[in-house]
């Protein structure tokens, strides 16, 4: 008799979080989003599942974006990351450039997986380390023009790993300090614990080789997110 526990019939819905002011839609389909940015390598794998059925969601367009080792976002590279901003809405901070580093999207495969080659993010004043994610359920042929977003979230990191990363050369010498996860407003108020990546080192001897990170994200494939609305694609995004 097989006494192994059966797989869950449903997944918990992943908590949504705000998109933040640095959302863009550069229409970049690519696995490697680093563009040579300095920092420790991060190989990120996300698995998208239907929370109602536990089935993998294939063909979803998964976008991620995050800051570089010094806390800057492409498109806003000249915004001082050591000064806390008091706005969070998409389009609320004017863009300073057309850079595209550390942004890009992938379609989920038949197992619901997407993979990205990037760097471990740094931080900017007032926030813990995180990566932004948006998932679109694509219909029709104009997939890059699809503006209906089903799920928006932020991914967090185990603090014991982040402490070691922030001691690496590319991350040191900042005028501000990162928040711990429990100090971060969005982490504590919007379910950040359920959005924390499982992270492990690539190499045995040195963290300089980088890290793997993984999370399974349960979404409602019929949902329409209130965090990124269709009109938000017109706000400093092209």
Per-residue pLDDT of the chain (238 residues; tens, 9 = 90+): 444 444 444 678 999 999 999 999 989 999 999 999 999 999 999 999 999 999 999 999 999 999 999 999 999 999 999 999 888 899 999 999 999 999 999 999 999 999 999 999 999 999 999 999 999 998 766 778 889 999 999 999 999 999 999 999 999 999 999 999 999 999 999 999 999 999 999 987 778 899 999 999 999 999 999 999 999 999 877 6
Residue 218: closest CA among 139, 150, 158 = 150
108 part of a folded domain:
yes
Domain count, the chain: 1
Q: Is 164 within the bounds of a domain?
A: yes
Is there a domain that residue 224 lies in? yes
User: Does 202 map to a domain?
Assistant: yes
What was the pLDDT predicted at 64?
98
Task: For residue 71, give every residue at least 6 positions away whose Cβ sits within 8 Å of its Cβ, in sequence order, or none.
Answer: 81, 82, 122, 123, 124, 125, 174
pLDDT of residue 238: 63
Distances (CA, A) of 218 to 52, 92, 113, 225: 8, 29, 12, 14
Look up the domain containing 201 and give its range. Answer: 41-234
Question: Which CATH number is 162's domain given?
Answer: 2.60.130.10
The answer as to whether 35 is a domain residue is no
**In this structure, is residue 220 part of a structural domain?**
yes
Per the domain annotation, does 28 fall within a domain? no
Instruction: Give the residue carrying structure tokens 């965090």.
Output: 227
Assigned domain for 180 exists: yes
CA distance 169 to 40: 10
């Amino acid at each position: 008799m097989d006494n192994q526990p059966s797989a869950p019939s449903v997944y918990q819905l992943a908590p949504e979080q705000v998109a933040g002011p640095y959302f863009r839609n550069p229409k970049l389909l690519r696995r490697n989003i680093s563009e040579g940015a300095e920092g420790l390598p991060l190989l990120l794998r996300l698995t998208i599942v239907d929370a109602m059925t536990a089935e993998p969601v294939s063909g979803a367009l998964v976008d991620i974006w995050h800051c570089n080792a010094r806390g800057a976002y492409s498109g806003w590279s000249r915004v001082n990351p050591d000064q806390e901003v008091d706005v969070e809405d998409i389009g609320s901070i004017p863009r300073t450039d057309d850079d595209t580093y550390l942004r890009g999207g992938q379609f989920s495969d038949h197992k619901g997986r997407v993979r990205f080659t990037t760097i471990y993010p740094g931080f900017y004043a007032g926030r813990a380390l995180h990566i932004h994610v948006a998932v679109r359920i694509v219909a029709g042929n104009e997939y890059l023009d699809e503006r209906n977003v089903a799920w928006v979230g932020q991914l967090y990191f185990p603090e014991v790993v982040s402490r070691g990363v922030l001691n690496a050369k590319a991350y040191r010498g900042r005028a501000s300090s990162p928040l711990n996860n429990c100090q971060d407003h969005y982490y504590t108020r919007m379910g950040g614990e359920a959005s924390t990546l499982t992270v492990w080192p690539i190499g045995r001897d040195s963290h300089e080789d980088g890290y793997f990170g993984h999370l399974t994200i349960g979404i409602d494939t019929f949902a329409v997110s209130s965090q990124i609305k269709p009109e938000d694609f017109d706000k400093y995004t092209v």
